Amino acid sequence: MTERPTLLPGEIAHQNFEVGYIALSYAVSYIGSVTTLELLNRRTGNRGWYNWSLLVGSAISMGSIAIWGMHFIGNRAIILDYGVESHQLIYNSSFTALSFFLPIVVLLSAYMFIGTNEDVSIVRVSVGGTAAGLAVVLMHYLGQFGVSNYTSVYKIPFVIGSVIIAILASNVALVVFFVSRSRWAGTWWKRIGCSFVLAGAVSGMHWLATVGTSYRLRSAALPKSTLDRKQTVVVVVTLCVFTCTCLLAYAIVLGARARQMVTKIRKVTLSAVMFDPDGRLMISTSGSLPTEVITDTLNSLLDQEFSKEHPVFLWFYRVSRSWSGVKDIVSVMQQHLRHIDVKKLGTEEQSELNLIFREMLCVAAKKLSEQLRQPLECIGALHDDILHTSSNSRSRVNTPIGPSDVERLRKVSAGKGQTLFVYREVTREEAARLQSHGYRFTSVKIATDVVARSLQVQREVLTEHLKNMRDASQIESILEPGIHIGGFACRANIDGGFDVLVQKLQPNLIPSVQLPIPALTDELKQVMQLLHGMTLGNALRVLEMKQNSTSGIDRSYLEEVRSAVRALTKAYPDNFWQDAIFSSIPVTMPCRSGNVEVDHATAQMFVFRTIVPIHQRELSDGIRMAPFDFFTAQQRAFSTSRDHEVFARQIHTEFSGLSERYLRTPKPSIIPRRLRALFWSSGRPTTAEKTLVENPFANIMISQAVDVHSAKTSMEIHELDTLRTTGAAIVVREVEEPTWAEDYFHLLMSKPRSP
């Protein structure tokens, strides 16, 4: 006998709830919410498939799992008519599908409107949060409309309350999330907290609305296309399992990246520092700078402390300001390094080790450019200082380094490393492209804390490095065209070598002032010749005497020169300037070209030279001492310097042998050797001819000095490596002329009291 239904059409069904499904519905909503916020946290811009995939994924996870899945799991907890199976909720397939896609579309629009700017707009986030809350409400009531066997009866106060809860909680969750994200304070536990609130918005709205909803039974005839509650549970659980699997894989990848970064900072690494036009710093979504390992075997490569005085650092400093000189031969360097046995590096000659280290630097730079998806020449210039990283960020790295510490810094030991930086300012178009590849630009103040943690260094140390790089990236530190008067001063270094006096804010320039005279005139030459060989103190007295006894245009020149010399002494009021010797021979220096041709933009400087007493340590605020070798390299690295061309040819000449030995590997032939000898013995090129074809730098013979764009260079003739040819071919290495600083240094050391 068939049991008669207890509920008739048109009657309100009795309802109660299963607690287990209520808890499960909240768990489903939480899984979708935490996935959504994690995907939104990884977004870096509005362009590129990377960001679009994250945007679409976040909308799908929130709409399909956190809202749609929660709704139908929650409705599974509703027990109608005392559990009679035929009187439980059944859904229309069409409306169920529509309720799945509609919130996704609404949320996609909301997240697009919020954007990814680091400067959070509360208005935009609030509008987006309101839209997200309305998406929850829309999905709920559209899903309710899809119930096939019941008509939903709503209580208005509960409807209003559910809408308020959905909008308010969504706004709170998203505002807290995006504000924390913009300040790089959105750690995992904060995202978990925001996910609880966001899931509470969905669940709170659903259950308040559910309590205020009654169900009136319709006709017993049901549509053919329906889904029972068991089928909906299977679909939702499948989506949740898939999401949990993706989150677990994502957590494993993040953990691996974090461990990789800890390993990197214990080695010698190269990091890219990119600023956008607004001064914001580029970092990855994990809060680190793009970084590549150079080597972890620095002990075996170098015979002295790796600092900015090291020949390899000076070489790389110049290369980074003229990448065109090496970009075509980096592949050769990579081939060469593949043939190197790292374990036997200690047995090689030091010159060979320096060459290997230079190759490692260039290869790391190439890998860094590939990581950024930028050409090699766009990764920037090398920063003039090295950051010593440590596994203990609280170590006192600011303490002065004593003699006993020098040996400690010469080695990269466990837990310590060195980081070199390349830096530049990118255009807005480049910044947008980098954001599309998964990088974020945020304020330096906020980014410093995050990057300092990733490098495990003190915040103050990193702040100073970033400030210097930011200043250097905005405008090149170079003289303006015109006439200058400067002071060239050197001091012996107690650790060996010499230091040169430079401007603190522009360390590639000596202290100087510019005359308000555009070009060197005959009258100005007369004034300068009058002061030739005088000390600075005597020069001021002579200028004052001559100014009182001279009239006309000569007097104006005397006044300008006297004012410039006095300005120099006022800007840097150090005692040693009074004994500085003046030279009337002007030095032509690189200068800013502006809108004129480089050949017509010149800067000429008249110099007072002196030696700073070794015991004098206190200097004026605007000056400091810098290693002389590094200062000399800086004089060749200006953007307008013609030494770049000579330097590029030197690099190609030096590495040309590697090109033949490691890049041009002969392909195996399927023709036997004897047959090849029979057919091609008469027309086969000689070894020297083959070398010339394969290596265009091999057989260059020059017997005299060559004028390269008016920059004289002497030539040193070297025999060609016997591994590359058996003939008497020779190669030529161009030797750069000494810089003005080297000339003045030798003059200062040999005849300190003569002009």
pLDDT tens for each residue of 695-718: 433 333 333 333 333 333 332 333
- Using DSSP's 3-state secondary structure scheme, residue 636 falls into coil
Of 50-59, 340-349, 470-479, the poorest mean pLDDT is in: 340-349
pLDDT over threshold 50, residue 76: yes
Residue 242 lies in a domain: yes
Q: Name the strand (E) or helix (H) holding 186.
A: none
Confidence band (pLDDT; 50, 70, 90) for 498?
A: very high
234 and 93 within one domain? yes
The CB density around residue 264, as the number of other CB atoms within 10 Å, is 21
Residues 459, 452 contacting (CB under 8 angstroms): yes
311 and 439 within one domain? yes
pLDDT tens for each residue of 586-636: 988 888 875 544 445 688 999 999 999 888 888 888 899 999 999 999 999
- Cα–Cα distance, 422 to 384 (Å, whole number): 9
Average of per-residue pLDDT across 677-684? 43
User: Half-sphere exposure of residue 622, counting CA atoms within 13 Å on the CB side?
Assistant: 14
pLDDT tens for each residue of 215-262: 888 865 555 545 556 666 777 777 777 766 776 566 566 556 555 555
Given 3-state DSSP classes, what are the helix, strand and coil percentages for the chain, each rounded to the nearest 5?
55, 15, 30
Residues 629, 618 contacting (CB under 8 angstroms): no
Going by C-beta distance under 8 Å and a sequence separation of 6 or more, which residues neighbour residue 2? Answer: none
Phi, psi of 127 (to 5 degrees): -65, -45
Q: Name the strand (E) or helix (H) holding 690.
A: helix 687-694
Residues 162, 212 contacting (CB under 8 angstroms): yes
Domain limits for position 655:
643-664+683-738
> Which of 226, 257, 288 represents a domain boundary (last residue)?
257
pLDDT tens for each residue of 544-578: 888 777 665 578 888 899 999 999 988 888 888 88
Of 123-137, 208-222, 346-360, the poorest mean pLDDT is in: 346-360
Residues 239, 65 contacting (CB under 8 angstroms): yes
User: Which of the 8 DSSP states describes residue 296?
Assistant: S
Average of per-residue pLDDT across 131-147? 87
Question: Which pLDDT value is given to residue 490?
Answer: 93
- Using DSSP's 3-state secondary structure scheme, residue 670 falls into coil
724 and 583 within one domain? no
Going by C-beta distance under 8 Å and a sequence separation of 6 or more, which residues neighbour residue 155? Answer: 212, 213
- Using DSSP's 3-state secondary structure scheme, residue 515 falls into coil
Residue 669 lies in a domain: no
Query: Could you tell me which of 440, 453, 448 has the C-alpha nearest to residue 181?
Result: 440
321 and 218 within one domain? no
The CB density around residue 37, as the number of other CB atoms within 10 Å, is 25
499 and 647 within one domain? no
- Using DSSP's 3-state secondary structure scheme, residue 682 falls into coil
Residue 677 lies in a domain: no
What the block records as the tokens of 576 is 């040693």
Query: Could you tell me which of 45, 31, 105, 21 has the C-alpha nearest to residue 437?
Result: 45
Question: Which pLDDT value is given to residue 74?
Answer: 87
pLDDT tens for each residue of 27-72: 888 888 888 888 877 776 666 677 787 788 888 888 888 888 888 8
Question: Which pLDDT value is given to residue 547?
Answer: 77
655 and 605 within one domain? no
Kind of pairing between the strands at 706-708 and 603-611? unpaired
Kindly list the distances between the CA atom of residue 197 and the CA atoms of 18, 189, 509, in Å, as whole numbers in the listed order: 23, 13, 57
Query: Could you tell me which of 119, 11, 104 has the C-alpha nearest to residue 58?
Result: 104
What the block records as the tokens of 741 is 């600083």
105 and 248 within one domain? yes
Domain count, the chain: 4
434 and 330 within one domain? yes
- The full length of the chain comes to 755
28 and 149 within one domain? yes
Q: Please give the mean pLDDT across all residues of the chain.
A: 77
Query: Could you tell me which of 477, 456, 405 has the C-alpha nearest to residue 640?
Result: 477
User: Which of the 8 DSSP states describes residue 666?
Assistant: P
Confidence band (pLDDT; 50, 70, 90) for 500?
A: very high
Region at 191 (left for phi over 0; alpha for psi -120 to 50; beta for the rest): alpha
> Which of 209, 232, 257 represents a domain boundary (last residue)?
257
Q: Furthest-apart CA pair in the chain: how many Å?
A: 136
pLDDT tens for each residue of 348-368: 566 678 888 899 999 999 999
| Pairwise pLDDT comparison (199 vs 184), residue with the higher score | 199
Angle made by CA atoms 307, 504, 591, in degrees to the nearest 5 = 95
- Using DSSP's 3-state secondary structure scheme, residue 626 falls into strand
Residue 504 lies in a domain: yes
What the block records as the tokens of 83 is 């559990």
Residue 637 lies in a domain: no
Residue 157 lies in a domain: yes
570 and 539 within one domain? yes
Question: Which pLDDT value is given to residue 606?
Answer: 94
Question: Which pLDDT value is given to residue 665?
Answer: 47
CATH code of the domain covering residue 360: 3.90.79
491 and 468 within one domain? no
329 and 296 within one domain? yes
Question: Which pLDDT value is given to residue 370?
Answer: 93
Residues 175, 126 contacting (CB under 8 angstroms): yes
Residue 678 lies in a domain: no
Query: Could you tell me which of 457, 490, 465, 559 has the C-alpha nearest to residue 275?
Result: 465
Residues 391, 456 contacting (CB under 8 angstroms): yes
Going by C-beta distance under 8 Å and a sequence separation of 6 or more, which residues neighbour residue 632? Answer: 739, 741, 742
- Cα–Cα distance, 129 to 138 (Å, whole number): 14
- Cα–Cα distance, 563 to 680 (Å, whole number): 79
Question: Which pLDDT value is given to residue 188?
Answer: 67
Letter for the amino acid at 417?
A: G
pLDDT over threshold 50, residue 724: no
Kindly state the percentage of the chain with pLDDT values over 90: 19
> Which of 215, 235, 257 represents a domain boundary (last residue)?
257
Question: Which pLDDT value is given to residue 281?
Answer: 92
pLDDT tens for each residue of 291-334: 998 887 665 556 567 788 888 999 999 999 989 888 888 988 88
Q: Tell me the β-bridge partners of 541.
A: none
pLDDT tens for each residue of 736-755: 888 889 988 888 887 544 44
Question: Which pLDDT value is given to residue 276?
Answer: 92
pLDDT over threshold 80, residue 687: no
Residue 164 lies in a domain: yes
Residues 755, 608 contacting (CB under 8 angstroms): no
